[in-house]
Amino acid sequence: MDNELLKDVTARAQVWLDGNYDAETKAEVKQLLDAEDKTELIEAFYKDLEFGTGGLRGIMGAGTNKMNIYTVGAATQGLSNYLLSQFPDLPQISVVIGHDCRNNSRKFAEISADIFSANGIKVYLWEDLRPTPITSFAIRHFGCQSGVIITASHNPKEYNGYKAYWGDGAQMIAPHDANVISEVNKIKNVNDIKFDGNKDLIEIIGKEVDQIYLERIKTLILSPEAIERNKDLKIVYTPIHGTGIKLVPDALRAYGFTNIIDVPEQNVISGNFPTVISPNPEEPAALALAVKKAKETDADIVMATDPDSDRIGIAVKDENNEWILFNGNQIFLIYIYYLITRWKELGRLNGKEYVVKTIVTTEVMADIARKNNVEYYDTFTGFKWIAEVMRKNEGVKDYIGGGEESFGFLAEDFVRDKDAVSACALMAEITAWAKDNGKTLFELLQDIYVEYGYGKEKGISVVRKGKSGAEEIQQMMADYRANPPKEIAGSKVAIIKDYQTLKQTNVASGKATNLVMPATSNVLQFFTEDGTKISVRPSGTEPKIKFYIEVRGEIKSRADYASANSKADEKINAVRKDLGV
């Protein structure tokens, strides 16, 4: 064991033992110091939990590298200091605080409320857990300058997180993200954190705001007659122990749906997520109980939301009457296709509309937009970039919808983060509309592929842990830049996009043009002559490098779907072989 490291972490732990920390924390630190095996001690104190551009996320426990009331406290004090510096002339700065179902989420939310109020900042604190999107909505509704959501999304139960938002209801981007990080990093001493709250500045909010939000969501309805005719659609919904239970069934009922079938075991609000290994609606295991219920009840659709209810997963019956999960790209395509189709049918397209996707999301969406003369934007991964496009277009262009392959979608402009509450209601509407047109949701997807071209996607994560792993990932990106592939799966590379240099290169001519993006990002993309797209990016939060593969094909009818699917799998395997992943 590295004696210098052990000496350093012991000294850091001793500061917590001697400092102005509560008895429970000190007892936990003492336990770590006294333990024969120092692994946990090192993990807890070898560094500070980093406040990044997305806020904090980490395993809960005592220590500088863990999520606890002191790391959350430093984050809140730093954000308070920044707000006070940014709005010196505002009579009353205000924030909204929301939280999910995780262990300690309420505690962290209340501590944050105390710290903001101790700094003279008014706090709108939810009475109880709420989906992430309604906090984004509330920030805009109350005209606040910022907001905080205590959540670790779909991470395992040991984790929690702290997401900071700006006054537009979106997660922060430059310059605010870097400036807040700088302020948080200045908090070096627990005594710098003002824990003694001012109760007069904390206002509890609840059902009255829920109602306003649900009324706004109802304005998104595009096919009221189809809903009325199919209001008894059998919808199985699971919140996977999370916040969706608070609003998703209400949103479905507000739309007019009457036959919502729940999964009682997963209605239990719990940060331990007792029925699943991972509360991630992307994973079949997380939807297993809901699919079982769907089989028992002969349901039309299964919908699931993650713990903070900003991402949606769905399951449908395929052509063989087997239940399958749609991937995030397929869900996204259905939304965009439906919204553009209905806007067009209702005469709402006048040339000022736009849709947004991230650069790693399916190109079929771009084809749908182009064919319907709707402007589309490509952004970096992360919903804050979609929100940035919305902010720039506010009052000038009309937002139809935006999303990403990681199961996030936003159909409205009065929220600025992905919203699984409205997404569930809208997906139920689409299912009703498809049924009204004699189709299942699966057949609707097939028809989209027939009309706009087929695409299949595969995401691969290569994990490389530790310092050596990080160096290996860095080297992989350097190698791809120095020696880009000339051919992938038998097709020549035609275009290379490098978002670190913001250059797009036409391989045949060698001509480079500029990529117009709001920032740089360590992402490489290779487009081949046959329409294959490969995106490569190191993860910003985990020790892995991610590969996003999309291959294209053509189907003339639904009958061609299985064959196109099989060919796409072969092509994806060939791409993987060539890339060595």
- Answer yes or no: do 392 and 495 share one domain: no
Same domain, 361 and 426: yes
The CATH number for 511's domain is: 3.30.310
Q: For position 470, what pLDDT does the model report?
A: 82
Q: Measuring CA to CA, which residue among 224, 441, 494 is closest to residue 325?
A: 441
Least confident residue range of 123-127, 332-336, 461-465: 461-465
| % of the chain beyond a pLDDT of 70 | 99
Last residue of a domain, one of 138, 170, 205: 205
Q: Which residue has the tokens 């057949």?
A: 443
Over 80: is that where the pLDDT of 542 sits? Answer: no
pLDDT beyond 70 at 134: yes
Residues 496 and 462 in one domain: yes
* 171 shares its domain with 256: no
**Which residue among 392, 422, 452 closes a domain?**
452
Residues 101, 129 contacting (CB under 8 angstroms): yes
Q: Is residue 12 part of a domain?
A: no
The answer on 184 and 66 residing in a single domain is yes
In terms of pLDDT, which residue wins out, 128 or 470? 128
| Residue 169 reports pLDDT greater than 70 | yes
Give the phi and the psi of residue 258 in degrees, each rounded to 5. Answer: -115, -10
153 is catalytic: yes
Does one domain contain both 362 and 442? Answer: yes
pLDDT of residue 525: 98
CA of residue 97 relative to chain centroid, distance: 18
How far is Cα 24 from Cα 16, in angstroms, rounded to an integer? 11
Mean of the pLDDT values across residues 529-545?
88
Overall average pLDDT of the 161-190 stretch? 95
β strands within 127-169, DSSP E: 146-150, 159-166
Query: In 3-state terms, what secondary structure has residue 537?
Result: strand
For residue 141, the model assigns a pLDDT of: 98
For residue range 286-304, what is the model confidence (pLDDT) as tens digits? 999 999 999 999 999 999 9
Query: Is residue 127 over pLDDT 90?
Result: yes
Whether 139 maps to a domain, the answer reads yes
Residues 420 and 547 in one domain: no
Residue 450 pLDDT greater than 80, yes or no:
yes
**Full residue range of the structural domain in which residue 387 is found:** 215-452
Among 205, 234, 269, where does a domain finish? 205
298: helix, coil or strand?
coil
Mean pLDDT of 341-345: 98
Confidence of residue 214 (pLDDT cuts 50, 70, 90): very high
pLDDT in tens, 5-63: 999 999 999 999 999 999 999 999 999 999 999 999 999 999 999 888 788 999 999 99
The torsion angles phi and psi of 109, rounded to 5 degrees, stand at -65, -45
54 & 74 share domain: yes
Query: What is the model's pLDDT at position 154?
Result: 87
**Same domain as 186, residue 133:** yes
> Would you say residue 486 lies in a domain?
yes
Q: What is the largest CA-CA distance in the chain?
A: 73
190 assigned to some structural domain: yes
Please, which residues have CB within 8 angstroms of residue 492's CB and are 6 or more apart in sequence?
A: 486, 507, 528, 529
* Three-state secondary structure call for residue 477: helix
Let me know whether 488 and 553 are in one domain.
yes
142-168 pLDDT tens trace:
999 999 999 998 889 999 999 999 999
Asked if pLDDT for residue 2 goes beyond 80, the answer is: no
Residue 11 lies in a domain: no
Burial of 499 (0-12, 13-18, 19+ CB in 10 A): buried
The Cα–Cα gap between 566 and 557 comes to 15
Half-sphere exposure of residue 443: CA atoms within 13 angstroms, side-chain side: 13
16 occurs within a structural domain: no
Q: What is the mean pLDDT of residues 305-312?
A: 97
pLDDT score of 466 more than 60: yes
Which residue is catalytic, options 80, 153, 406, 422?
Answer: 153
pLDDT digits (tens, 9 = 90+) for 232-287: 999 999 999 999 999 999 999 999 999 999 999 999 999 999 999 999 999 999 99
Domain tally, the chain: 3
pLDDT tens-digit profile of 395-417? 999 999 999 999 999 999 999 99
Nearest to 123 by CA among 136, 107, 108, 112: 112
- The string of pLDDT tens digits covering residues 549-562 is 999 999 999 999 99
Judgement on whether residues 255 and 235 belong to the same structural domain of the protein: yes
pLDDT at 541: 62
Average pLDDT over residues 206-231: 98
User: In the numeric block, which tokens belong to residue 296?
Assistant: 């028992």
- Kindly report the average pLDDT of the chain as a whole number: 96
Residue 39 in any domain: the answer is no
Give residue 53's pLDDT. Answer: 78
pLDDT at 1: 55
What is the average pLDDT across 201-217? Answer: 98
Same domain? 122 vs 191: yes
Weakest-pLDDT range from 109-123, 240-254, 319-333, 459-473: 459-473
